[in-house]
Amino acid sequence: MYIEIGSYEAKTKLPELLRGVSAGNRYTITRRGEAIADLVPAENNKHSDVAAAVEEMLAFMQSRKPMSGVDIKALIEEGRE
């Protein structure tokens, strides 16, 4: 969710907004009610989170035994009825 904030307020509260972005908030900066910019976390932070999530998922998958005797196609068709 984006929080709307006027350009003057954004200018005067920039350090506070940057702390909010570090905490995961997203802001839409407006001028006279019209959106002109988005203030969002940097891409490099997002990639590190994605990489960590993938590593956790792979570790989880490797820690489980494969299931045998499960007909995946039958389960898919069952959900379509």
Q: What is the pLDDT of residue 52?
A: 83
* Residue 80 covered by a domain: no
SS3 for the chain is: CEEEEEHHHHHHCHHHHHHHHHCCCEEEEEECCEEEEEECCCHHHHHHHHHHHHHHHHHHHHHCCCCCCCCHHHHHHHHCC
Domain span including residue 19: 1-65
* Residue 73 covered by a domain: no
* Residue 18 covered by a domain: yes
What is the domain-level CATH number for residue 30?
3.40.1620.10
* Residue 4 covered by a domain: yes
pLDDT 10s digits, 37-75 = 999 988 765 556 777 888 899 999 889 887 888 888 888
pLDDT 10s digits, 11-22 = 999 999 999 998
Domain tally, the chain: 1
pLDDT 10s digits, 22-32 = 888 999 999 99
* Residue 70 covered by a domain: no
* Residue 42 covered by a domain: yes
Q: What is the pLDDT of residue 46?
A: 56
* Residue 16 covered by a domain: yes
